[in-house]
């Protein structure tokens, strides 16, 4: 088992409009990318649970082989700028992905 | 045929380097383009009608761009003002352009295009049966825009496409300055006017509109001082385009260009623009030299013409209190203390009701301010934390009143292990509960079909100095 943090070069989060959060993961080599893809650790249930949103808020989990990248998109619990949520640009929501254990 | 574009970093006022820009002008661009509007900074800028940057930096980047562009005889297309509303465009932004013209002895003829949409344009369309669906399937947005929501909003802006800019370029102008616009539109208008392939134009625009974010450092141990805060250069040809940095310590790679298409987008392959969609799923990327990437095989799909509407409504007024805690005995019971404060506030403020007349939030930095309920780390022992109390209320005075009483109630809490009976908190400045003005949330993020791409965006030709 290895933490996702040790396998990927970039693990970032950013708003895509104030209502959607996009999470991008970029891998340095095919080995790590394929390992994560095979593990199925990045799935809708896991994301919904980590980000505490209903399952249907998870809009996409895309594995893009040509870029050795994963893009995940979910509706935000709290739209950006609404009071009570302290990450206007959505930059620091990536933290929840770092610890994901990959087989 | 070839068309060369010098793209700047975002034009909100963030300080990008002049030397790289001037050097890039030697590569003989046909156009200088850059975007300076964005919803990322949140609803406050559109609500208050303010720019994100101060006058000094906006004037500096405007001067760099306009003076050098005029000297080199290169036309420019830029959007300005962060939210891109009329108050900012026709206020500070054009005042600054005027100063730049005066102080540099320039005579400028500029097409100015408003990105703010008359509310009646939208409400009359709705009343005539036009359906304006939400951009994102989020329950906080109404499925179809209502006239009430338009009226509730402070002002509405829309991302104009390239057509109004093309029309402006038919006049013999030094440049075009717009309010809210689709970022790519600033880059697309001129080359489309010259007959280049729309898909390639749109793709090059997409790659260039964030400036040097699409580059990486050649040597991570010797990176450029400004990092990604710099421009980028594009060369468009009949069946491909090339993109490269304007700073010698950077390079574009296939990976960096590809990664950029993912940036802040829900869909890495299809990007909807007014009038159509760019599909880059089958695009081909080739590294032609250390710093340059060649891109080809982009596709454009025609669609009905729609524009994205953006609007915010007021939720009251906001005041905050920032107080630090350094006594670890206090930090150990912070949750209990804040809970007591909230209970006391509820008792103190009737007939004002929490949840109706005011709302109080505590952001505890050092514990779980950023992730809130999602924070997985529940056990930690910071020696210092900061509480940011945020009060939102129907008047500014009430929001300050709630914030200050919350802070003082915290100061005075008595608990087991308390040592400093003087007060539980450390305040960094005075006044300690600064009013932050009106608070807003996004209420309009909808897609409106329009019959004429130029109609909602009023254009004027202006001469500077005025």
Q: How far is B137 from chain A (nearest CA, A)?
A: 8
Q: pLDDT at position A9, please?
A: 87
Both tokens of B375, joined, read 């924070």
Contact B390 A87 (CB under 8 A): no
Q: pLDDT at position B29, please?
A: 98
Quick check: A61 contacting B, CB < 8 Å?
no
Q: How far is B48 from chain A (nearest CA, A)?
A: 13
- What is the average per-residue pLDDT within A6-21? 94
Q: pLDDT at position B463, please?
A: 98
Give chain A's mean pLDDT.
Answer: 95
Q: pLDDT at position B34, please?
A: 97
Alpha helices in B233-391 (DSSP H): 254-262, 328-331, 334-348
Q: pLDDT at position B126, please?
A: 98
Q: How far is B22 from chain A (nearest CA, A)?
A: 32
Q: pLDDT at position A67, please?
A: 85
Q: pLDDT at position B359, please?
A: 96
Output DSSP code: residue B53.
Answer: S
C-alpha closest to that of A14 among B373, B280, B247, B259: B259
B174 or A28, which is more confident: B174
Q: pLDDT at position B242, please?
A: 98
Q: pLDDT at position B454, please?
A: 98
Question: How many CB atoms sit inside 10 A of residue B18's CB?
Answer: 15
Separation between Cα atoms, residue B422 and residue B412, nearest integer Å: 8
Q: pLDDT at position B187, please?
A: 98
**By the 8 A CB rule, do B112 and B457 touch?**
no
Residue of chain A whose Cα is closest to the Cα of B258: A67
R_g of chain B, CA atoms, integer Å: 25
Quick check: A94 contacting B, CB < 8 Å?
no
Pairing of strands B108-113, B175-178: parallel
Contact B361 A82 (CB under 8 A): no
Q: How many CB contacts within 8 angstroms connect chain A with chain B?
A: 113
Separation between Cα atoms, residue B439 and residue B394, nearest integer Å: 10
**By the 8 A CB rule, do B354 and B345 touch?**
yes
Q: How far is A58 from chain B (nearest CA, A)?
A: 11
- With a cut of 50, list the residues of chain B below it in pLDDT: none
Separation between Cα atoms, residue B438 and residue B316, nearest integer Å: 6
Contact B262 A24 (CB under 8 A): yes
**By the 8 A CB rule, do B211 and B229 touch?**
yes
Q: Is the pLDDT of residue A66 over 90?
A: no
Quick check: A22 contacting B, CB < 8 Å?
yes
Nearest to B445 among A19, A60, A88 (CB): A19
Both tokens of A86, joined, read 């302290």
Separation between Cα atoms, residue B57 and residue B108, nearest integer Å: 21
Q: Is the pLDDT of residue A6 over 80?
A: yes
Residue of chain A whose Cα is closest to the Cα of B377: A96
pLDDT tens profile B32-90: 999 999 999 999 999 999 999 999 999 999 999 999 999 999 999 999 999 999 999 99
Nearest to B262 among A51, A69, A75 (CB): A69
Contact B266 A59 (CB under 8 A): yes
Contact B40 A22 (CB under 8 A): no
In this prediction, residue A85 has a pLDDT band, given cuts at 50, 70 and 90, of confident
């Amino acid at each position: 088992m290895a933490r996702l943090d040790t396998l990927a070069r970039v693990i970032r989060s950013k708003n895509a409009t104030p209502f959607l959060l996009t999470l991008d993961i970029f891998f340095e080599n095919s080995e790590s990318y394929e390992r994560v893809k095979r593990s199925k650790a990045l799935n809708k249930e896991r994301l919904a649970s980590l980000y505490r949103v209903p399952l249907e808020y998870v809009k996409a989990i895309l594995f893009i082989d040509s870029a050795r990248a994963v893009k995940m998109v979910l509706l935000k619990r709290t739209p950006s700028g609404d009071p009570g949520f302290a990450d206007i640009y959505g930059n620091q929501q990536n933290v929840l992905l770092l610890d994901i254990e990959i087989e | 045929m070839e068309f060369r574009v010098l793209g700047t970093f975002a034009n909100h006022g963030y300080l990008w380097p002049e030397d790289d820009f001037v050097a890039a002008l030697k590569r003989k661009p046909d156009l200088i383009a850059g975007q300076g509007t964005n919803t990322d900074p949140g609803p406050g800028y559109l609500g208050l009608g303010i720019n994100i940057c101060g006058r000094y930096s906006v004037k500096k980047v405007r001067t760099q761009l306009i003076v050098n562009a005029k000297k080199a005889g290169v036309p420019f297309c830029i959007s300005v003002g962060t939210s891109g509303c009329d108050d900012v465009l026709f206020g500070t932004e054009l005042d600054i352009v005027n100063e730049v013209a005066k102080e540099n002895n320039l005579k400028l003829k500029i097409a100015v295009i408003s990105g703010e949409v008359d509310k009646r344009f939208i409400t009359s369309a709705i009343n005539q049966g036009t359906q304006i669906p939400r951009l994102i399937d989020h329950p906080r947005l109404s499925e179809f825009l209502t006239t009430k929501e338009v009226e509730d909003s402070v002002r509405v802006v829309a991302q104009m496409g390239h057509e109004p800019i093309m029309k402006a370029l038919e006049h013999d102008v030094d440049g075009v300055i717009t309010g809210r616009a689709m970022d790519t539109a600033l880059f697309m208008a001129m080359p489309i006017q010259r007959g280049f392939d729309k898909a390639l134009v749109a793709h090059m625009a997409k790659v260039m509109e964030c400036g040097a974010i699409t580059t990486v450092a050649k040597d991570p141990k010797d990176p450029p001082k400004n990092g990604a805060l710099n421009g980028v250069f594009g060369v468009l040809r009949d069946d491909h385009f090339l993109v490269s940095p304007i700073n010698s310590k950077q390079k574009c790679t296939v990976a960096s260009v590809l990664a950029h298409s993912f940036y802040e987008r829900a869909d890495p392959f299809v990007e909807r623009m007014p009038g159509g969609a760019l599909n880059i799923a089958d695009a081909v990327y080739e590294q032609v030299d250390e710093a340059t990437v060649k891109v080809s095989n982009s596709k454009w799909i025609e669609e009905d013409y729609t524009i994205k509407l953006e609007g915010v409504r007021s939720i009251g007024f906001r005041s905050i209190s920032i107080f630090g805690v350094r006594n670890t005995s206090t930090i150990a019971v912070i949750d209990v203390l804040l809970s007591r404060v909230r209970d006391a506030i509820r008792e103190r403020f009737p007939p004002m009701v929490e949840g109706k007349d005011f709302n109080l939030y505590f952001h505890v930095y050092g514990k779980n301010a950023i992730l809130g309920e999602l924070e997985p780390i529940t056990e930690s022992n910071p020696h210092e934390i900061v509480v940011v109390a945020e009060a939102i209320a129907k008047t500014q005075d009430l929001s300050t009143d709630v914030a200050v009483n919350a802070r003082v109630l915290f100061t005075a809490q008595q608990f087991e292990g308390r040592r400093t009976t003087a007060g539980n908190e450390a305040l960094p400045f005075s006044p300690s509960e600064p009013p932050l003005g009106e608070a807003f949330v996004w209420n309009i993020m909808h897609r409106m079909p329009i019959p004429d791409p130029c109609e909602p965006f009023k254009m004027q030709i202006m001469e500077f100095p005025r």
